[in-house]
Amino acid sequence: MLSASLSTLLNCPTFESKLPYNVVDVLLQEGVHFVSEVLDCPPEEIRAGMTVEAVFVPASDEITLVKFRRSDPRLRPGSGTDSEGAAR
């Protein structure tokens, strides 16, 4: 991931329930930039250089959104470890 920001302002009523939400610029291995969101990650842990993987989130029967999550499975919710890899 190249960069990230945290949105705390309401620009669109659709996102009101998600405030604050993160906006990230992910540089894919193919060299393409992808602007999206990192899921299941506290804002204070999102940082440039973080390795992420794509997650496909259905928005409707016809639309699927591409979002991201941390690549390290130890850092995912319910993994039983904290950000240092230690057991909780």
80 located within any domain: no
Per-residue burial over 44-63, b if 16 or more Cβ lie within 10 Å, else e, is eebeeebebeeeeeeeeeee
46 located within any domain: yes
40 located within any domain: yes
Of residues 12, 14, 23, 20, the one with CA closest to residue 59: 14
Range list of H helices, the chain: none
How many other CB atoms are found less than 10 A from the CB of residue 68? 22
Q: How many CA atoms lie within 13 A of 68 on its CB side?
A: 24
Question: Which structural domain, as residue segments, surrounds residue 33?
Answer: 3-8+17-74
If you average pLDDT over residues 12-17, what whole number do you get? 75
Higher pLDDT, residue 72 or 65 = 65
86 located within any domain: no
Q: What is the pLDDT of residues 19-33, one digit of tens each?
A: 788 889 999 889 999
Q: How many structural domains comprise the chain?
A: 1
